[in-house]
A and B are shown apart, each in its own frame.
Chain A
Amino acid sequence: MDTETTEKIVARIKSAVEPAREVDDRDLRNTFAARLKTVAARPEVVPIEFNGRRLEVRRGGTLLGAAMKNGVRLMHVCGARTLCATCRVVVESGEDNLTQMSGAEKFSLRWHLSISPKTRLACQARVNGPVEVESVFPLCGDLPNG
């Protein structure tokens, strides 16, 4: 096989994989359609995922506001003033659906040695579409006692 060309490998890969089989799940098909209709009918409400939990948030609101309203107790020691960076989140997907980083946010993140473009301050980032984020610090209530 060490003399096989890429074309031969490709042909073997294609023949090794089963054809895609029809998904016979009417419930999923209907649930998908109904949910799509519901989400599209409310453009002012954006579905996001926060630490794996699905939330519905107001379009244009901050990630921190969304978290607090939904009982996700994200740390924000400075009171959402861009200072403490304890509300840091990692954006797993949908970073284009957040407002652009301001200079103040950028400065705060760098000050706290957080330079990845995927890291945002939840108190500053506003939501325009679906995003998946994970908090950097443990949530309040998840911290160990003592």
Chain B
Amino acid sequence: MTALDPPQTPESDLVARLRAGDEDAAHEFFDRYSARIRRFIANSLGRDADEADDILQETFISLADALPFFRGDSSLFTFACAIAHRKVLSFIRINARRARLIRAAPIAGDANPQPAGADREFRHALAELRPEYREVLLLKYVEEVGVSEIARILRLSDHAVESRLARARKALRKSMKEEYGH
């Protein structure tokens, strides 16, 4: 966002307009959040593929149903990610066998030419992490969501989220050391 971009509507105003069913507010919500929601879905799945687009569609349909009843007790992004997370879990349950293959696939955006050396190794180690570890690391450090909000998305306690973050970082370090010796 630059100084020339129109100022964003404060979230509280946007929530009020969404609850009222304002179509312009819906467009604004889509423009503001769809990219991040899609990235969250793709990284949760472990690949950037058609599945992410299908789940994004289901997520937005469910959001349209849920937003008029949204109480504003979390951020809009958290609310949306909580719905997206359930859709991803549902997809993984239904496609359990296929999901084992998906988990081994590269993380979102890996269709692009790979950076050389340590960066590629790190990306691979991140992609190889258990989905619940990768998910929590990306929410915390890429989406910059707070622990309490992560807890809401994943339906865990704050303590469980902190614990999972610590285990995720440890698993990532271990993976880098075992596979690449550093």
- Partner-B contacts on A (CB < 8 A): 1-2, 4, 6, 9-10, 12-18, 20-23, 25, 28-29, 31-41, 43, 46-47, 49, 52, 54, 92-94, 96-97, 128-130, 132
Q: Which residues of B contact A97 (CB under 8 A)?
A: 69
Question: Which of B21, B62, B126 is the one whose CB lies under 8 Å from A16?
Answer: B126
Distance in angstroms from B151 CB to nearest chain A CB is 14
How many interface residues does B have (CB within 8 Å)? 52
Docked pose: A15 CA to B38 CA in angstroms: 18
List B contacts of A28 (CB < 8 A): 30, 34, 56-57, 60
Which of A39, A40, A93, A96 has the most C-beta atoms of chain B within 10 angstroms of its own C-beta?
A40
A-B contact count (CB 8 A): 129
Contact in complex: A39, B30 (CB < 8 Å)? no
From residue B88, how far is it (CB to closest CB) to chain A in Å? 13
Q: List, sorted by A's number, 7 A–B pairs whose CB atoms are closer than 8 Å.
A: A9-B169, A18-B108, A22-B35, A23-B30, A25-B34, A28-B34, A28-B60
Instruction: State the CA gap A104–B122 with chains docked (Å).
Output: 55
Could you tell me which residues of chain B, from 100 to 152, have a CB within 8 Å of some CB in chain A? 107-109, 112, 119, 122-123, 126, 137-138, 141-142
B38 and A1 contact, CB distance less than 8 A: no
- Asked whether B43 lies within 8 Å of A17 as measured between CB atoms, the reply is yes
Q: Is the CB of A13 within 8 A of B182?
A: no
B27 contacts A by Cβ under 8 Å: yes
> In the assembled complex, which residues on chain A have CB atoms less than 8 Å from the CB atom of B22?
37
- Bound together, the chains give a CA A12 to CA B137 distance in angstroms of 11
Question: Which of B19, B66, B112, B122 has a CB less than 8 Å from the CB of A130?
Answer: B66
Contact at B60–A20, with CB atoms within 8 Å? no
Contacting A at CB under 8 A, from B14-32, are 18-23, 26-27, 30-31
Contact B173 A9 (CB under 8 A): yes
Task: Check A17–B138 contact: CB distance below 8 A.
Answer: yes
Contact, CB under 8 Å: A32 / B107:
no
B residues near A29, Cβ cutoff 8 Å: 27, 30-31, 34
B140-182 contacts to A (CB < 8 Å): 141-142, 169, 172-173, 176-177, 182
B66 (CB) vs chain A CBs: closest residue: A130
